[in-house]
């Protein structure tokens, strides 16, 4: 970087990258909000592994980033560490025209009518999960929600139904997901030293899952009712690009993995946060139950929006600059990262009075301005699964609050920490079930 370029960076914390990284891992929201207060709408943070990045917390500047020419903003390369599991054709890893081609193919199954149709599956999966809860059960909601959202992706995206093949696939995919810290290892440590070495074990798990996915793709392609099926894989098998070409098996495999990875933990975490906020707020909880009893879903949707405002799962979209770019008056040099600062914009008092308060009512009068509410990022990389994720969160919350009572086991809201690239409740939102469809498994111990 030249001296002239270096001087164009906005101010920011001056300590070593290791310190900023530790702060971001342990106290991400407090750190970002503190830096914003101190340095203003654009601030520069140096982070280990990510390098120099500029957070942008001004909605007008974010609008400029997310609209118009985005050819100098790359997102795919930032996700490169995920390549071993996602595969080279994943929409998350591509940039430019190849990215747009995949995106156009993937979008239709995640729009309006299609997502509406998935609500029944979500309700069935949730009912089966909640039916297992008994009075006195103690668990972390994040773990239960993780199992539930996995099941939803298996049914909605992979189109799996019950049965032995499904179970086999579920086991194979879970084994890959459970290896996730492994595939984030730096290049140098990725050595297959046999089935007992971490990378070797991961490679074998991945090969087993890939074989099953390819088997499923071939089977589905040959299915007589393919044209009538509504799961995402079947819709993708019928999709054609602008030249009338179908997706190749390799593309299908990579996108299925991408949707599993992008859509399962994120939604589970969003749900854990939703319950952590809602269960501590008797007024909001009572109002939600009343409105649902009256057949009105507006407040339910507002609970989802307010959760994703106060507890966004991703703190900032990520873009690498391939050319210098002027953002809010700063000429930023090529080679750095720019983060539309989702978590900071969501706490701006000029957009959300008393921003720290959980107040779903804010969203009752209509949707927030596009660039003031960004839990799903924006522009040509906006989350493909946004409508599905919101439908899923709404249906799960509806079922839980209308069928059971669960109480948080911690006196204070679960602190927010960073794990990998997502914000998550440090303790996973531990709860105890106090009313359920089924009686207690054992005597309830007073808390
Ligand atoms: C609460 C749950 C979710 C949250 C908070 C979330 C958030 C995000 C964010 C912030 C991005 C990056 C956007 C950007 O860079 O501007 C993203 C991308 C993406 N998400 Fe989600 N997501 C969620 C659920 C899902 C689900 C359920 C799926 C699919 C089943 C999904 C699929 C994707 C894909 C494929 C991309 C990449 C889009 C592209 O690069 O063009 N996400 N998501």
Residue 320, beta-bridge partner list: 74, 337
Whether 41 is covered by a domain: the verdict is yes
Whether 42 is covered by a domain: the verdict is yes
Q: Spell out the residues 6+ positions from residue 432 whose beta carbon is closer than 8 angstroms to its own.
A: 136, 137, 138, 406, 407, 409, 447
Pocket test for ligand 1, best of 385, 387, 393, 418 (most atoms within 8 A of CB): 385
Whether 259 is covered by a domain: the verdict is yes
Whether 181 is covered by a domain: the verdict is no
CA dihedral defined by 338, 24, 409, 284, rounded to 10 degrees? -30
Q: Spell out the residues 6+ positions from residue 119 whose beta carbon is closer than 8 angstroms to its own.
A: 391, 395
Secondary structure of residue 336 in the 3-state scheme: coil
| Tokens 């249906």 sit on residue | 395
The reported pLDDT for the residue numbered 367 is: 67
| pLDDT tens by residue, 383-406 | 999 999 999 999 999 999 999 999
Q: What share of the chain is helix, strand, coil (3-state, %, to 5)?
A: 50, 10, 35
Whether 275 is covered by a domain: the verdict is yes
Is 36 in contact with 357 (CB distance < 8 Å)? no
Q: What is the average pLDDT value for the chain, to the nearest integer? A: 91
d(CA 132, CA 395): 17
The reported pLDDT for the residue numbered 181 is: 66
The reported pLDDT for the residue numbered 447 is: 46
- pLDDT tens by residue, the chain, 447 residues: 444 444 579 999 999 999 999 999 999 999 999 999 999 999 999 998 889 999 999 999 999 999 888 889 999 877 887 888 899 999 999 999 999 999 999 999 999 889 999 999 999 999 999 999 999 999 999 999 999 999 999 999 999 987 788 889 889 998 888 876 666 667 777 777 777 787 888 899 999 999 999 999 999 999 899 999 999 999 999 999 999 999 999 999 999 999 998 999 999 999 999 999 999 999 999 999 999 999 999 999 999 999 999 999 999 999 999 999 999 999 999 999 999 999 999 999 999 999 999 999 999 976 667 799 999 999 999 999 999 999 999 999 999 999 999 999 999 999 999 988 899 999 999 999 999 977 776 655 554
Is 65 in contact with 327 (CB distance < 8 Å)? yes
Between the alpha carbon of residue 38 and those of residues 24, 27, 236, the distances in Å are: 16, 16, 48
- Centre of ligand 1 from the C-alpha of residue 195, in Å: 33
The reported pLDDT for the residue numbered 187 is: 72
Pick from 148, 210, 60: nearest CA to 393: 148
Domain count, the chain: 1
The reported pLDDT for the residue numbered 438 is: 72
- Centre of ligand 1 from the C-alpha of residue 100, in Å: 15
Whether 21 is covered by a domain: the verdict is yes
| pLDDT tens by residue, 264-297 | 999 999 999 999 999 999 999 999 999 999 999 9
Closest C-alpha to ligand 1, atom 25: 263
d(CA 260, CA 395): 19
Whether 326 is covered by a domain: the verdict is yes
Closest C-alpha to ligand 1, atom 27: 263
Q: Which domain holds residue 291?
A: 3-159+229-435
By CB atoms closer than 10 A (0-12, 13-18, 19+), residue 438 is middle
d(CA 67, CA 379): 6
Ligand 1 pocket, residues with Cβ under 6 angstroms: 75, 91-92, 103, 157, 258-259, 262-263, 266-267, 270, 313-314, 317, 375-378, 381-385, 388-389
Measured in degrees and rounded to the nearest 5, phi and psi for residue 316 equal: -160, 135
Pocket test for ligand 1, best of 77, 146, 252, 262 (most atoms within 8 A of CB): 262
Domain of 292: which CATH number?
1.10.630.10
Strand duo 51-56 + 337-340: pairing: parallel
Whether 195 is covered by a domain: the verdict is no
Q: Spell out the residues 6+ positions from residue 442 whose beta carbon is closer than 8 angstroms to its own.
A: 136
């Amino acid at each position: 970087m030249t001296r002239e370029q270096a001087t164009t960076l906005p101010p920011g914390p001056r300590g070593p990258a290791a310190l900023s990284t530790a702060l971001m891992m342990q106290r991400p929201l407090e750190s970002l909000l503190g830096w914003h207060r101190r340095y203003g709408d654009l601030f520069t943070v140096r982070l280990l592994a990510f390098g120099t990045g500029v957070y942008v917390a001004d909605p007008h500047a974010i609008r400029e980033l997310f609209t118009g020419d985005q050819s100098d903003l790359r997102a795919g390369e930032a996700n490169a560490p995920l390549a071993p599991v996602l595969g080279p054709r994943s929409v998350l890893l591509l940039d430019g025209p190849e990215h747009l081609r995949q995106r156009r193919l993937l979008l239709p199954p995640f729009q309006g009518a299609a997502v509406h149709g998935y609500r029944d599956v979500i309700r069935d999966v949730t009912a089966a999960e909640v039916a297992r809860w008994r009075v006195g059960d103690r668990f972390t909601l994040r773990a239960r929600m993780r199992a539930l959202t996995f099941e939803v992706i298996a049914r909605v995206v992979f189109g799996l139904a019950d049965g032995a093949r499904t179970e086999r696939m579920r086991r194979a995919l879970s084994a890959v997901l459970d290896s996730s810290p492994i595939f984030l290892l730096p290049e140098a440590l990725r050595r297959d030293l046999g089935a007992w070495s971490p990378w070797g074990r991961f490679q074998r798990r991945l090969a087993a899952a890939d074989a099953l996915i390819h088997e499923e793709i071939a089977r589905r392609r040959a299915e007589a009712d393919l044209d009538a099926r509504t799961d995402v894989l079947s819709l993708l098998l019928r999709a054609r690009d602008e030249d009338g070409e179908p997706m190749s098996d390799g593309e299908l495999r990579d996108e299925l993995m991408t949707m599993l990875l992008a859509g399962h933990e994120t939604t589970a975490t969003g749900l854990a946060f939703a319950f952590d906020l809602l269960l501590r707020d008797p007024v909001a909880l009572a109002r939600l139950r009343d409105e649902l009893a009256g057949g009105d879903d507006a407040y339910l949707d507002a609970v989802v929006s307010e959760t994703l405002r106060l507890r966004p799962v991703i703190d900032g979209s990520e873009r690498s600059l391939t050319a210098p770019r002027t953002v809010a008056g700063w000429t930023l040099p090529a080679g750095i990262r720019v983060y539309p600062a989702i978590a900071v914009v969501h706490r701006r008092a000029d957009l959300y009075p008393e921003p720290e308060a959980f107040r779903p009512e804010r969203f009752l009068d209509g949707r927030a301005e596009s660039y003031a509410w960004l839990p799903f990022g924006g522009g040509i990389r906006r989350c493909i699964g946004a409508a599905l994720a919101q439908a899923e969160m709404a249906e799960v919350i509806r079922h839980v609050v209308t069928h059971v009572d669960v109480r948080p086991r911690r006196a204070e809201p679960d602190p927010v920490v960073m794990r990998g690239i997502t914000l998550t409740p440090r303790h996973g939102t531990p709860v105890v079930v106090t009313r359920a469809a089924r009686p207690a498994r054992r005597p309830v111990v007073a808390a």
